[in-house]
Amino acid sequence: MFEQLSIFSFPTRILFGCGAVRRLSDCLRETGAARPLIVTDPGVRQAAPFASVAGALEAAGIRYEVFADVHGNPTEEDVLAGVERYRAASCDGVVGLGGGSALDVAKAVVVKARHAEPLEELEAQAGGWERLTGPYDPVIAIPTTAGTGSEVGRSAVITSRRLGRKLIIFSPELMPKRAILDPELTVSLPPALTAATGMDAFTHCLESWTCPFFHPLCDAIAIHGLELVVRYLERAVRNGSDIEARGYMQIAATMGAIAFQKDLGAAHSLSHALSTEFGLNHGLANALCLPAVMRFNLPEAAPQYARVAAMFGVPVHQMGEREGARHAAVEVERFLDRLGIVRGLRHHGVPRESLPALAHKAFEDPCHRTNIKACTESDLLRLYEESW
């Protein structure tokens, strides 16, 4: 399975299949990068995926530098330190290796290598997308998780400790020039992280599908992405060496990021605040908040949720769309239980007294503005309380 390399563009050129990482030198040559900076995190730096990437570069005689200090929720300081290493070594491209955090920092490094402004002046809400005109040095994205889809995304999400919130840097110019999806690089991902990152892909697909913008191409991609997560995530959690499950989860994650060109919803606003304040893994935070958001979104999202329930085997055709849709959140909760995700924010270090402040931060986040049902700050507080 997946022994034959597949190459397609959407618009990032994607190389998918076992051993695809061995084509890294070709990708660098095609994009004009001769001295790349590998951007990764300390865990991946010590693991097999880094050895595979380094081996591919060394076999091709390519000199490279390494920045391996990316945090789980990447900060502006991570980006600035990466830029310093990039400039000092006269690099001309970046290889992002790891989860969404490393890939987002990789994108931000090439942006900040060109722009002197602070990151908050480049974020989407400040109109930064008008100044991010590029072209930037090439980014080659190699994910070691299957969740964020950052390898094909046009944004980078970076935490500003000074401002106490997430910054969203957004531009089509941020899309990696190549994405290398090698299922073998994900087999060492532990079950808990496999589950959390997989639920990130699920949430991306679901929230983009229900986002009230017209984009039938993204809708179709989101629907199949959801089907893949439902079919393969449990298998990947139970057996990390299941290459078929790992490969299809990589595809689902990529599809989720392609789909959320439409935009996202309330679960992401809730998740961003939780990651900033309590360091929760982004996918885990999405998973913990999603069932409450799904219940909130009824009946507006009934057509989509009924189809989600059917993906889990609910006989929706026997009960009608509205009734079937009500089963969707329950099925997602059962899915979380089977994945080993302990539901309830209280079990993940989030004190109840923090919820009002979290709701305020979540309301400042732009993602809920494209939720299928409008949200007030009070609504977001209730969603936190239901998720607690």
- Report, as an integer, the average pLDDT of 140-163: 90
pLDDT tens-place string over residues 153-193? 888 889 888 888 888 888 888 899 999 999 999 999 999 99
Tokens 């679960």 correspond to what residue?
Answer: 267
Mean pLDDT across the chain = 93
Which pLDDT belongs to residue 251? 96
**pLDDT above 60 (res 8):** no
pLDDT band for 133, please (50, 70, 90 cuts). Answer: confident
- Report, as an integer, the average pLDDT of 210-235: 95
pLDDT tens-place string over residues 304-329? 999 999 999 999 989 888 899 999 99
Domains of the chain listed by start with CATH number: 6-186 (3.40.50.1970), 191-387 (1.20.1090.10)
- Report, as an integer, the average pLDDT of 137-162: 91
Q: Which two structure tokens, joined as six digits, stand for 153?
A: 């995304």
- Report, as an integer, the average pLDDT of 350-357: 97
Q: Which two structure tokens, joined as six digits, stand for 248?
A: 């299809």
